[in-house]
């Protein structure tokens, strides 16, 4: 499976008063889609700094990413973060130079998109990561509103039913003499109803219609909107009847037709007395031998581009249709009416269907209510933020409650309104996990999420992460110093020591046969149910010494002062992280580069 995150040669430094501290030094990592990679190592070895470097959450200064690459789904997250990429290559002409500020701005914008939706993080200390003065539910909702506003808006609109309060807004808009007030009312109504502003404006403008009729039309639009799907406008024979009914004014502007009575109603004798005697819709469905003509033409003074197709059911009409299209090449409506008239003398029907919803005036009744357009329209008007914010917040709240349920928070609606200090450590961590899940990230980084919790709650959170892992498709970088947790959760393990990866391997291989002396030491120092062959009462083996000071790390292999296998070469030459078999890598002079022989 392809990796979603590739870290190559990452170097992160801190400029401290005592000198340069290389916290992360040439770190290489790879995480594949849906995989759990455990990152393990003693305290101070650089696990958190690696994670924060990936998230670009380190304060600069004192921190600085001094080199390497971080690729996330094919995007180099480090590009532009420094001053190094100033030249933008172009296919023609000289390369363009971007000022460093521009690059930085772009980089920040890109990271804002990646964080939350691409990569999210669960921090070590929930209490210090949650804002103590904001309700926890709102803190999660904020992620949704920032990262998935469009989706929240869509959800909101798709379930909206028209209420009497909504229709009141429409009535007020019709009655309002103030253009700006009307604009505001229309926008608010559109947000609430999910109907397109153009349609609503047109209905407000339809001054000949009584208000009840306009309301009835708004309701019909809403019903259609909820049903979704397109419908076709059918031109039947007896064009004169239809013309009289619907094309009386500006009949060449077909938009009038859709703004008036919906076409399906035209043929319903109950709704349209003139439809008596016309064949019911079912009988005019397309014939198998229909002639379909595609057209694409520029019409109107604004040069609207329209494309669509004409379905002419009878083969013998082909010549006539083609002639009309030839004659009226510049105006598609001319051709259509020519054809309609031709057909009008037969028992046949023509179906006209547009393909582009944005220019399709016939399908506006149903498909032109594009939520995306509506959203853009509403958000483009300054001052409408307050109108939008409330319903969006309500929708986000519903979503957060669902997330709380997913992470097994009891009484999620109550917890939504709680402040962090009112929750237990386990609950706070669940809120953090919900927050990390809110953006539906491709990768979650969990930095020792259970360290601050008691053993029972730790087990619950681990179980939850395991369960979530099977339900969501996120990859997880799980950081811990606890190998037992790694064994429980991970697919692969990377072992870190003093700012470097010293070994990585599939979890089963690492536990069955640890290669690096540091990994061996870590494994020996955990309590196992089988025992370590120790005498009763004997102390567990530990790794002698302490993690080195990264301001002045040991020469050669950084582990050599603590390694019982160390030999001369280890003190002078730093081992490289090299492949050992198909799935493993190790950085130790005990293991020769594949193809070379060991020098001990
Ligand atoms: N803001 C900072 N300024 C200076 N040094 C720092 C800073 N943050 C971290 N370090 C140093 O970077 C090194 C790596 O720290 P890091 O927090 O990544 O360790 P860790 O592996 O996550 O440890 P733990 O398991 O205790 O969380 C340590 O030596 C630490 O002292
Ligand atoms: S390189 Fe040498 S000092 Fe380092 S872990 Fe291997 S044997 Fe020990
Ligand atoms: Mg840490």
CATH number at residue 450: 3.40.50.300
Q: How far is CA 440 from CA 34, 116, 500, in A?
A: 13, 8, 30
Atom of ligand 2 nearest to the CA of 589: 1
Which helix H or strand E contains 536, and what residues bound it? none
- 302-309 long-range Cβ contacts below 8 angstroms, 24+ apart: 304/359, 305/356, 305/359, 306/332, 306/354, 306/356, 306/359, 306/360, 307/354, 307/355, 307/356, 307/359, 308/352, 308/353, 308/354, 308/355, 308/356, 308/360, 309/352, 309/353, 309/355
Same domain membership, residue 102 and residue 142: no
In a domain, 141, yes or no: yes
389: helix, strand or coil: helix
Which residue out of 39, 48, 55 has the highest number of ligand 1 atoms within 8 Å of its CB and is therefore the one to mutate?
A: 48
| Residue 576 within a domain | no
Instruction: Answer yes or no: is 93 within a domain.
Output: yes
| Burial environment of residue 597 by CB neighbours within 10 A (0 to 12, 13 to 18, 19 or more) | exposed
User: Structural domain of residue 393, as residue ranges?
Assistant: 134-229+366-418
Distance from residue 453's CA to the centre of ligand 1 (Å): 21
**Residue of the CA atom closest to atom 2 of ligand 1:** 14
Q: Are residues 285 and 390 in the same domain?
A: no
- Short-list 101, 318, 346, CA closest to 237: 346
Q: Which of 588, 598, 600 to mutate to test the pocket of ligand 2 (most atoms within 8 A of CB)?
A: 588
Per-residue confidence (pLDDT) for residue 223, from 0 to 100: 72
| Whether residue 461 is found in the same domain as residue 523 | yes
370 in the same domain as 354: no
Asked if residue 393 and residue 324 are part of one domain, the reply reads: no
Q: What is the mean pLDDT of each run of 10 residues along the chain (600 residues)?
A: 86 88 92 91 92 87 84 76 47 56 68 83 83 89 76 62 86 86 80 72 80 86 56 27 29 27 45 47 32 37 40 47 47 48 37 34 30 43 51 80 88 93 89 87 88 77 79 86 86 94 95 94 73 60 82 92 92 92 92 58
Nearest to 443 by CA among 403, 480, 472, 481: 472
Own/partner contacts of 328-331, CB < 8 Å, gap of 24 or more, are 329/297, 330/297, 331/297, 331/299
- Answer yes or no: are the C-beta atoms of 172 and 189 closer than 8 Å: no
Domain boundary residue among 526, 544, 562? Answer: 544
Same-domain status, 139 and 53: no
19 falls within a domain: yes
Residue 442 CB less than 6 A away from ligand 1? no
- Residue 579 included in any domain: no
Q: How does DSSP assign 561-593, residue by residue?
A: GG-TT--HHHHHSPPP-EE-SSS-EE--TTSPP
Q: 159 lies in a domain?
A: yes
pLDDT of residue 565: 92
Same domain, 39 and 97: yes
CB 548 within 8 A of CB 558: yes
284: three-class secondary structure by DSSP:
helix
Q: Are residues 468 and 538 in the same domain?
A: yes
Rounded (10°) CA dihedral 542, 546, 550, 551: -170
The Cα 276–Cα 114 span in angstroms is 60
Of the candidates 345, 363, 381, which is a domain's last residue? 363
Count structural domains, the chain. 3
CA separation (Å) from 251 to 214, 242, 344, 358? 20, 10, 16, 21
Euclidean distance between CA atoms 483 and 36, whole angstroms: 14
143 in the same domain as 223: yes
Q: Are residues 174 and 240 in the same domain?
A: no
Binding site membership of 280 for ligand 1 (Cβ less than 6 Å): no
Find how far residue 246's CA is from the centre of its chain: 45
Judgement on whether residues 213 and 325 belong to the same structural domain of the protein: no
Give SS3 for 394.
helix
Q: Is residue 107 part of a domain?
A: yes
Instruction: Write the DSSP assignment of 139-185 as a string of letters.
Output: HHHHHHHHHSHHHHHHHHHHT----HHHHHHHHHHHH---HHHHHHH
Q: State the distance from the centre of ligand 3 to the C-alpha of 46, rounded, in angstroms.
A: 7
Is residue 152 situated within a structural domain?
yes
Give the closest ligand to the alpha carbon of residue 515: 2
Last residue of a domain, one of 495, 523, 544: 544
Q: Is the CB of 127 under 6 A from ligand 2?
A: no
Asked if residue 180 and residue 160 are part of one domain, the reply reads yes
């Amino acid at each position: 499976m392809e990796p979603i995150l590739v870290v190559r040669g990452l170097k992160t430094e801190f400029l401290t008063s005592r000198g340069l501290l290389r916290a992360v030094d040439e770190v290489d990592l790879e995480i594949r889609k849906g995989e759990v990679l455990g990152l393990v190592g003693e305290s101070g070895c650089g696990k958190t700094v690696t994670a924060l470097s990936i998230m670009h959450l380190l304060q600069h200064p004192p921190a600085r990413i001094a080199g390497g690459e971080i690729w996330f789904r094919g995007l180099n997250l480090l590009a532009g973060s420094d001053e190094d990429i100033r030249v933008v290559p172009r296919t023609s002409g000289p390369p363009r130079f971007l000022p460093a500020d521009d690059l930085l701005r772009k980089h920040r914008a890109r990271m804002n998109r990646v964080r939350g939706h691409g990569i999210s993080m669960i921090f070590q200390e929930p209490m210090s990561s949650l804002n103590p003065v904001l309700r926890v539910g709102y803190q999660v909702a904020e992620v949704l509103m920032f990262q998935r506003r469009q989706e929240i808006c869509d959800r909101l609109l798709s379930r909206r039913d028209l209420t009497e309060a909504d229709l009141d807004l429409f009535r007020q808009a019709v009655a309002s003499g103030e253009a700006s007030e009307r604009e505001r009312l229309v926008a608010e109504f559109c947000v609430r109803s999910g109907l397109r502003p153009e349609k609503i404006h047109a209905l407000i403008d339809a001054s000949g219609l009584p208000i009840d009729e306009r309301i009835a039309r708004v309701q019909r639009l809403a019903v259609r909107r909820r049903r979704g799907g397109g419908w076709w406008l059918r031109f039947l024979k007896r064009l004169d009847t239809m013309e009289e009914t619907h094309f009386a004014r500006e009949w060449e502007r077909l938009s009038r037709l859709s703004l008036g009575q919906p076409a399906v109603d035209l043929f319903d004798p109950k709704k349209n007395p003139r439809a008596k005697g016309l064949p019911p819709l079912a009988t005019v469905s397309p014939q198998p031998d229909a002639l379909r003509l595609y057209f694409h033409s520029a019409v109107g003074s604004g040069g609207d581009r329209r494309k669509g197709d004409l379905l002419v059911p009878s083969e013998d009409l082909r010549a006539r249709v083609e002639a009309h299209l030839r004659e009226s090449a510049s105006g598609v409506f001319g051709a259509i009416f020519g054809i309609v008239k031709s057909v009008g003398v037969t028992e046949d029907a023509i179906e006209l269907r547009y393909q582009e919803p944005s220019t399709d005036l016939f399908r506006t009744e149903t498909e032109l209510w594009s939520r995306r357009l509506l959203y853009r329209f509403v958000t483009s008007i300054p001052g409408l933020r307050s109108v939008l914010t409330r319903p969006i917040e309500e929708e986000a709240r519903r979503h957060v409650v669902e997330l709380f349920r997913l992470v097994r928070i009891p009484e999620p609606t109550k917890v939504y309104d709680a402040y962090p200090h009112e929750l237990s450590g386990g609950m706070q961590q669940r809120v953090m996990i919900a927050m990390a899940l809110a953006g539906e990230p491709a990768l979650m980084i969990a930095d020792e999420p259970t360290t601050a919790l008691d053993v029972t709650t730790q087990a619950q959170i681990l179980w939850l992460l395991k369960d979530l892992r099977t339900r969501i498709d996120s990859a997880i970088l799980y950081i811990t110093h606890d190998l037992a947790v790694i064994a429980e959760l991970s697919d692969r393990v990377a072992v870190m020591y003093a700012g470097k990866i010293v070994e990585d391997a599939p979890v089963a291989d690492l536990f069955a046969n640890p290669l690096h002396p540091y990994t061996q030491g870590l494994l020996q120092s955990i309590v196992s149910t089988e025992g370590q062959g120790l005498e009763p009462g004997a102390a567990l083996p530990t790794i002698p010494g302490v993690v080195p000071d990264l301001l002045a790390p040991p020469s050669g292999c950084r582990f050599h002062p603590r390694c019982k296998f160390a030999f001369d070469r280890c003190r002078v030459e730093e081992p490289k992280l090299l492949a050992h078999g198909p799935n493993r890598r190790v950085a130790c002079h005990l293991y020769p580069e594949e193809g070379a022989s060991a020098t001990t």
